[in-house]
Amino acid sequence: MDVTSRRYLMCRPTYFAVDYAINAWMDPTAPVDTELAIAQWENLRRTYLDLGHTVETIEPVPGLPDMVFAANGATVVDGKAMAVQFRDPERADEAPAYRTWLERAGFEVHDPKHVNEGEGDVLVVGDLMLAGTGFRTAHAAHAELQEVFGRPVVTLQLVDPRFYHLDTALCVLDDRTVAYLPEAFSPGSRAVLRRLFPDAVLATLADAEVFGLNSVSDGRHVVLPVQATGLASALRERGYATIGVDLSELRKAGGGPKCCTLTVR
Ligand code: ARG
């Protein structure tokens, strides 16, 4: 991907909380500082604006504490949008909110018949779409994506509950390159990744555990959690400019910079 100005959709964490546990990171008994989450999110938004990207926002809805994770709101490619269907009832009402935003923004919106958690599990690399399954998005959803977008969809099997969405285990750096945590994938999917991306950056567990792979690249600048120091230096060695952001509060819900960001293509 050439370095171009991106269009992102974000949702302010006004009602952010950890009220339920639907992934291995969430502990509803641990305290959450919503004000700090908002400040960290504002800093992420400012970082994108400073890089020259466009950031649009969707109105947060009270009672939907995970709505800040806009990546789960849809998959938008070539002006078409695949709406989402959440696995967990706690997040179900986010789907129509994002769907309405997309419709109002003029996208042709398609509705999934199977569990599909949007860009959390669907990543675009060049002409390909990589799609995760195992915890959230159903395997059957991958065929629906291929039909709607007319792009080859490569299924990747996630095996570690800590890396439950594809975007926690793999990051797209540009049109040809990705970074990923090999242990997060089944042996067959690891072989597929080696075949497709022989030059990939291989991340360590230490970097993945601080959501280092949940990063956002515009092809040249990579916005990633400031705690992922090993990955940041590996990326700099490859010629990427890295920008560290602290989203420690949102991590308590199992999310990082990429989860907060939906790319509108
Ligand atoms: N608490 C949210 C969930 O478990 C976090 C979503 C993170 N989003 C992502 N794109 N990985 O669904």
Q: Where are the domains of the chain?
A: 7-263
Which among 172, 173, 181 has a CA at the least distance from the CA of 236?
Answer: 173
CA distance 83 to 111: 5
| Contact 168 CB / ligand 1 (< 6 Å) | yes
Q: Is the pLDDT of residue 13 over 70?
A: yes
Model confidence at 236, pLDDT cuts 50, 70, 90, reads very high
| Contact 132 CB / ligand 1 (< 6 Å) | no
CA distance 119 to 75: 5
Choose which residue among 26, 66, 130, 211 to substitute to test ligand 1 binding: the one with the highest number of ligand atoms within 8 A of its C-beta: 66
Beta strand 108-110 with 122-125 is unpaired
**How confident is the model at residue 60, as a pLDDT?**
98
- Per the residue annotation, which of 165, 171, 221, 260 is the catalytic one? 165
| Contact 118 CB / ligand 1 (< 6 Å) | no
Averaged pLDDT for residues 32-48? 98
Question: Any idea what DSSP says for residue 158?
Answer: B
- Pair of tokens at residue 166: 């594809």
Averaged pLDDT for residues 109-136? 98
Model confidence at 4, pLDDT cuts 50, 70, 90, reads confident
- Pair of tokens at residue 150: 């007319």
Q: Does domain 7-263 have CATH number 3.90.700.10?
A: no
Tell me if 154 sits within 8 A of 123, measured CB to CB. Answer: no
Question: pLDDT digit string (tens) for 161-204?
Answer: 999 999 999 999 999 999 999 999 999 999 999 999 999 999 99
Query: What's the predicted TM-score (pTM) here?
Result: 0.97
Model confidence at 2, pLDDT cuts 50, 70, 90, reads low
- CB atoms under 10 Å from CB of 208, counted, come to 25
| Contact 120 CB / ligand 1 (< 6 Å) | yes
Average pLDDT, the chain: 97
Question: pLDDT digit string (tens) for 135-159?
Answer: 999 999 999 999 999 999 999 999 9
**How confident is the model at residue 3, as a pLDDT?**
64
Question: pLDDT digit string (tens) for 51-101?
Answer: 999 999 999 999 999 999 999 999 999 999 999 999 999 999 999 999 999
**How confident is the model at residue 95, as a pLDDT?**
98
Amino acid symbol at 124: V
Q: Is the pLDDT of residue 15 over 90?
A: yes
Q: Is the pLDDT of residue 217 over 60?
A: yes
Question: pLDDT digit string (tens) for 237-257?
Answer: 999 999 999 999 999 999 999
